[in-house]
């Protein structure tokens, strides 16, 4: 049975971690403000809409459309669901909130959706600073299929990240404040492409450098020769980095920089003639905008690879992907995050449907989620589960989805995510 890694938080969002430090911790609302709401089903609710909340950093320091993919995918799923009759004859009513990428804004959204709108659950949360996570947990509101930008989904009960969790989730992050991640990405390129030398490019900024060190540790654990490259955050000299990559004969390039920086790095690599087996990016950058984003770097563009834990959104030969694409054909672009938001909405729907006879309440939906085991959203996700292991695993069988960009074809899957599986060590890191 394929299993996912205990934590993909760092890998999933390397491109935005470096900016997390610019946001504040947010306000602290009284815990009593969030207790005892939305728990009882009444006859009047039998036909009333089922309210769900979606919190997104739609406006944030990292750009207006950076975080909107999961929201758009979830909304598309609920629109199609409602067109088919909803859940047990009840429409799903989506209440959105833009937290602006700040802790203060996030707490405001949590207060509004949980206390005022009395949503049954949050779905596809994508927040740069999830400052209100502890309040969501305290209110026992299930947060389903959120993106693990920070450590919240490996810290609190009642929060169910899109990739699952093995951590105790008792209020302390991971195990004693440390999370764990696997080396399957590095093992894949070593096994499939014979890669031996890898570069890691980061900014001279704390979060960026910390993530780069994690990647370097994983690469070294898999026997790679590692080349560390760091550029100035304010005035990065990507041409110098590219020249050194060429000189060192690097096979793979990983990064801890933002999307704009990646495009500039690729341009510099093309300019100096640095050719690599793969320029590896993450699920956040797995989108249909590659041709435009990397328009001035055709060679590097066609060396882009993406890895993740969900099926390639271009795999329309798969029924669930085809349904997603049909429902989102009106969107200007498509992305892996949209597909994962769609999967999150389906996850909520499955949980709510299991509660239809007894009443679709927070408590029932949460109990259903807590029993989740090997959920795949009809094959869109590597099987997801939630366990509360007392000790972190030393190794884990993990599977990954892999695709590479080809001009004229888009993202082309490389093997199947249910068979790209490896038994790999789990390495600790501090979020």
Mean pLDDT by 10 residues, the chain (431 residues): 45 42 35 42 68 96 86 98 97 98 97 98 97 98 96 97 97 95 96 96 90 94 97 95 97 91 96 97 91 96 97 97 98 97 98 97 97 94 96 96 97 96 94 76
Residue 417: closest CA among 383, 389, 374, 366 = 383
The total of other beta-carbon atoms located within 10 Å of residue 333's CB is: 13
Query: CA–CA distance from 142 to each of 53, 294, 355 (Å)?
Result: 11, 39, 14
Give the C-alpha distances (Å, rounded to integers) separating 385 from 49, 228, 244, 318, 370.
29, 35, 42, 22, 9
And the tokens for 13?
């969002």
Residues in the chain: 431
pLDDT of residue 284: 85
Residue 45: the pLDDT is: 54
Look at residues 126, 93, 92 and name the one whose alpha carbon lies nearest to residue 109: 126
pTM of the complete model? 0.89
What is the H or E stretch that residue 188 is in?
A: helix 184-193
CB of 418 closer than 8 Å to CB of 397: no
pLDDT tens per residue, range 45-69: 568 999 999 999 999 888 778 899 9
Query: 251-308: per-residue pLDDT in tens?
Result: 999 998 888 899 999 999 999 999 999 999 888 889 999 999 999 999 999 999 999 9
pLDDT score, position 154:
97
DSSP E strands in 147-184: the ranges are 159-161, 179-182
């Amino acid at each position: 049975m394929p299993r996912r890694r205990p934590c993909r938080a760092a890998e999933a969002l390397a491109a935005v971690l470096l900016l997390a430090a610019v946001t504040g911790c947010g306000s602290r609302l009284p815990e009593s403000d969030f207790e005892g709401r939305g728990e009882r089903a009444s006859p009047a609710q039998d036909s009333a809409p089922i309210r769900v909340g979606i919190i997104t950093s739609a406006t944030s320091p990292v750009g207006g459309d950076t975080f909107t993919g999961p929201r758009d995918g979830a909304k598309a799923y609920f629109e199609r669901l409602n067109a088919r009759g909803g859940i047990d004859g009840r429409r799903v009513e989506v209440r959105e909130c833009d937290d602006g990428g700040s802790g203060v804004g996030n707490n405001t959204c949590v207060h509004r959706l949980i206390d005022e709108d009395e949503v049954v659950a949050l779905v596809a949360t994508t927040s740069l600073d999830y400052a209100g996570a502890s309040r969501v947990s305290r209110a026992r509101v299930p947060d389903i299929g959120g993106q693990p930008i920070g450590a919240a989904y490996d810290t609190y009960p009642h929060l169910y990240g899109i990739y699952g969790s093995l951590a105790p989730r008792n209020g302390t992050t991971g195990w004693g404040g440390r999370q764990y991640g696997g080396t399957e990405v590095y093992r894949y390129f070593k096994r499939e492409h014979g890669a031996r030398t890898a570069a890691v490019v980061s900014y001279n900024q704390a979060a960026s450098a910390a993530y780069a060190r994690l990647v370097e540790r994983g690469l070294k654990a898999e026997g790679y020769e590692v080349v560390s490259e760091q550029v100035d955050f304010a005035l990065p000299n990507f041409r110098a980095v590219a020249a050194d990559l060429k000189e060192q004969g690097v096979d793979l390039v990983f990064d801890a920089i933002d999307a704009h920086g990646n495009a500039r790095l690729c341009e510099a690599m093309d300019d100096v003639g640095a050719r690599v087996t793969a320029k590896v990016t993450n699920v956040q950058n797995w989108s249909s905008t590659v041709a435009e984003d990397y328009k001035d770097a055709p060679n590097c563009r066609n060396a882009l690879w993406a890895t993740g834990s969900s099926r390639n959104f271009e795999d329309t030969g798969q029924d669930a992907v085809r349904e997603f694409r049909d429902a989102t054909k009106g969107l200007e672009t498509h992305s892996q995050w949209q597909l994962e938001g769609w999967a999150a909405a389906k996850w909520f729907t499955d949980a709510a449907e299991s509660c239809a006879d007894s009443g679709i309440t927070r408590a029932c939906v949460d109990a259903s989620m807590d029993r989740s085991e090997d959920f795949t959203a009809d094959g869109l996700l590597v099987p997801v589960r939630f366990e509360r292991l007392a000790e972190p695993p030393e190794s884990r069988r993990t599977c990954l989805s892999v695709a590479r960009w080809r001009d004229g074809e888009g993202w082309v899957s490389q093997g199947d995510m249910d068979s790209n599986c490896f038994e790999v060590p789990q390495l600790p890191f501090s979020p």
